[in-house]
């Protein structure tokens, strides 16, 4: 019997059941018919944050950042590169703490950039400070 995972669509945020053995082939959303993986970090807002963290059975790595933060801007290309290396086993997403303060406050974000790795709706690891792509990938794989 095949196991499946719930993968939340990055476009319409609908949950999709994907057979685990077909995860590497990506797949499309049953609701909006768009690709479930885009090879780029997903931009979250307060509503989509809760959907992806609470519903996805994939681990979700969230970069809490702000546009005025120099280290955040410096890390953005590395985070995008890490996305291409970690998807589809991990969903990578970004949350602008200036525009969406409630999730940042709920998780006690005191400095940015801060990355939090979530699994099954719970925080399992946290790292503050800018990192290059290789270190992001290594940190995530170690945490999982």
* CA contacts within 13 A on the Cβ side of 141: 11
Two structure tokens written together for 125: 């690891």
Strands annotated E in the chain: 4-8, 15-19, 42-44, 60-65, 91-96, 114-119, 122-128
Instruction: Give yes or no: 72 in active site.
Output: yes
d(CA 25, CA 121): 24
Q: Which of 9, 29, 32, 69 does the annotation list as catalytic? A: 69
d(CA 140, CA 96): 21
Strand order in the sheet with 42-44: 42-44, 91-96, 60-65, 114-119, 122-128
Closest C-alpha to 79, from 91, 67, 97? 91
Write out the catalytic residue numbers: 69, 72
């Amino acid at each position: 019997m095949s196991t499946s995972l719930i993968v939340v669509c990055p476009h319409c945020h609908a949950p999709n059941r994907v057979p685990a053995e077909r995860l590497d082939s990506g797949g499309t959303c049953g609701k909006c018919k768009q690709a479930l993986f885009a090879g780029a970090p997903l931009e979250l807002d307060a509503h989509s944050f809760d959907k992806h963290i609470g519903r996805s059975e994939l681990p979700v790595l969230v970069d809490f950042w702000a546009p005025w933060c120099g280290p955040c801007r410096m890390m953005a290309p590395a985070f995008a590169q890490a996305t291409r290396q970690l998807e589809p086993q991990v969903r990578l997403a970004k949350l602008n703490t200036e525009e969406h303060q409630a999730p940042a406050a709920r998780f006690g974000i005191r400095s940015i950039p801060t990355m939090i790795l979530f699994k099954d709706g719970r925080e399992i690891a946290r790292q503050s400070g800018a990192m290059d792509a290789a270190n992001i990938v290594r940190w995530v794989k170690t945490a999982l």
